[in-house]
Structure 1
Amino acid sequence: MTIKCKVKSIEPLASNTYQILLHPETPVNFKAGQYLMVEMGESDKRPFSIASSPCRHEGEVELHIGAAEHNAYAIEVVDAMKRALETNGDINIDAPHGDAWIREDSQRPMLLIAGGTGFSYVRSILDHCISQSIIQPIYLYWGGRDEKQLYAKEELVAIASQHAHIQFIPVIEQADGNWSGKQGNVLQAVSDDFESLENFDIYIAGRFEMAGAARDQFTQNKQVTPEHMYSDAFAFI
């Protein structure tokens, strides 16, 4: 369904990463963990996870877009958003999409894994769980190149301190002397922390190769069945 939107704001979150708030002309009905398509042309639709949760988005849709210099696919979208904001123009989106939404009827503990701006996907799920008082254990692993890329780290630390059933584990590849958390590959950090993931529902967002590696590693080494792993990347790999 195509929906016309106004761009309400564009704010930097980290280097080359932007928070974009869209105000849809008509409400967007979606499930936590779904994505939308930004329509750049008649046959050019580009997917981005919805960072806001369906229960608390208050008529606005939030995106987190990483637009590094080598990523023209995302840069062009951010530029289009900036032009729409400056001119009070419109952006068309097609929503909702995706099958990797939260399974609310499940009572299994949840493992949320994000790489980079894949965090927007797990942010929607986490916020929905909090707002709906879902109380099974939730482990959120977020991997980034460096600490600056984990732009919501302080917010997540605060959330984990307020909710005993939520654990936040940040993982970075490049650390300085002040970093006291995990360092290296986010999937390796998960593997080191869990002998088995057999009883978990696992939600993953990030680069396709990360999602594919998670599926291979966890099904082969951590007793995971594919039916309990969710990622929109799985539809393409």
Structure 2
Amino acid sequence: MTIQCIVKSIEPLASNTYRILLHPETPVAFKAGQYLTVVMGEKDKRPFSIASSPCRHQGELELHIGAAEHNAYAIEVVDIMQKSLDDGSKVNIEAPHGDAWIREDSDRPLLLIAGGTGFSYVRSILDHCIAQNNSKNIYLYWGARDECQLYAIEELNDIASNHSNIHFIPVVEQADSSWQGKTGNVLAAIDEDFDLLDDYDIYIAGRFEMAGAAREQFTQSKGAKSEQMFADAYAFI
């Protein structure tokens, strides 16, 4: 279903990363963890996770778009959004898409894994769980190149401080001397922290190769069950 949207705002979150708020002319019913596509052309529809949660998005859809200089695919979308914001024109989206939405009927604890702006996917799930007063243990691992890319770190630390069931573990590849958290690869950090993952529902967003490596690594060495692992990437790899 194609829906016209007004671009409400664009703001930088980190270097080359932007928060974009869209107001759709027709309300979009979606599940936490689904995505939309930005229609660039008849055969050019580009997917982005919906960062807002379905229970309190107030009619607006939030996107986090990483548009580094080498990523023309995303830069072109940000440029279209900026043009629409400037001249009042509308952008077209199609939504909702994706089967990697949260399984609310499950009683298992959650392991949320994000690489870079894949955080937008797990943010929707986390916020939905908080709004629903979900008491299950939730472990959120967010991997990034450096601390500057962890644009919501203060918000997440506050959430973890105020909810005893929520555990936030940031992981950076390149750390300076002031960094107090984990360093290296986010999947390696999880491998180190968990003996078994058979009792977890695992939700993953990031590069396809990361999602593929997580499924292979965790099912083989940590007892994770592939039917309890969810990622949009799994529809394609």
TM-score normalised by the chain length of structure 1:
1.00
Identity %: 74
For 1:28, the equivalent position in structure 2 comes to 28
Structure 2 CA distance for aligned equivalents of residues 43 and 6 of structure 1: 22
> Distance between the aligned counterparts of 2:144 and 2:50, measured in 1?
19
* Aligned partner letter, 2:217: Q
What is the one-letter code of the residue matched to 1:194? F
Give distance in 2, aligned partners of 1:115 and 1:25.
31
The CA deviation string for residues 127-151 of structure 1, in whole angstroms up to 9 with x for no partner, is: 0000001111000000000000000
Tell me which residue corresponds to 2:127: 127
2:9 is the alignment partner of 1:5: no
User: 2:212 aligns to what?
Assistant: 212
* Secondary structure of residue in 1 paired with 2:170: strand
- Counterpart in 1 of 2:65? 65
Q: What is the total number of aligned residue pairs between the two structures?
A: 237
Tell me the equivalent position of 1:113. Answer: 113
SS at match of 1:13: strand
Residue 225 of structure 1: how far off its partner (Å)? 1.1
Residue 230 of structure 1 is matched in structure 2 by 230
1:148 maps to what in 2? 148
Provide, for residues 81-110 of structure 1, a one-character-per-residue CA deviation record: whole Å limited to 9, x for no partner: 000000000000000000000000000000
The 1-side partners of 2:65 and 2:136 are apart by: 30
Output the amino acid matched with 1:159: I
* Counterpart position of 1:77: 77
SS in 2 for 1:203: strand
Tell me the equivalent position of 1:221: 221
Superposition pairs of residues 157-236 of structure 1, within 5 angstroms: 157-236=157-236
Secondary structure of the 1:120 match is helix
The CA distance in 2 between the partners of 1:133 and 1:27, in whole Å, is 25
1:134-177 C-alpha deviation (Å, 9 max, x unpaired): 11100000000000000000000000000000000000000000
Runs of 4+ in structure 1 over 3 Å off: none
The whole-number CA distance in structure 2 between the counterparts of 1:164 and 1:9 is 33
Instruction: Please give the secondary structure, in 1, of the residue aligned with 2:13.
Output: strand
Cα distance in 1, alignment partners of residues 135 and 40 from structure 2: 40
| One-letter amino acid of the structure 1 residue matched with residue 189 of structure 2 | A
| Post-superposition CA distance 1:41-72 (Å, at most 9, x none) | 11110000000000010010000000000000
Whole-Å separation in 1 of the counterparts to 2:176 and 2:183:
10
> 1:81-100 to 2 correspondence within 5 Å?
81-100=81-100
Provide the TM-score with structure 2 as the length reference. Answer: 1.00
SS of the residue 1:178 aligns to: coil
Describe the SS at the equivalent of 1:219: helix
**Secondary structure at 1:195 match in 2:** coil
